[in-house]
Amino acid sequence: MVGAPEEPLPATPAGAFFGSRVYLGGSAIGSPKEIAEMLEMAAKYHIKGWVEERPMTEANKAVLDMEKGKARYRYCLVNEKNIQELSN
């Protein structure tokens, strides 16, 4: 399963796991192997994230905008020098 379910998981007796080599685990980001596979696929198919770069000097404003729901994509704070280099 990717992501958290909207509904609570049903109660399951612990005995259902005994002797069957089954385990239940969770991760907020996936295992290292899954992360590596995802990054390999993104590189292979040239998949890039949608980001909005904001100058580091606007960090506080970016947080306020995010709290107001104004962020359309992921905010990435960058040094202003890097923004100028990328635009040239």
**What is the average pLDDT score of the chain?**
84
Residue 60 and residue 83 in contact, taking contact as beta carbons nearer than 8 Å: no
Q: What is the pLDDT of residues 21-50, one digit of tens each?
A: 777 777 777 788 988 999 999 999 999 888
pLDDT band at residue 65 under the 50/70/90 scheme: very high
**Could you tell me which residue, 81 or 1, shows the higher pLDDT?**
81
Report if pTM > 0.85: no
The three-class DSSP label of residue 13 is coil
Parse the chain into domains and list their residue ranges. Answer: 30-87
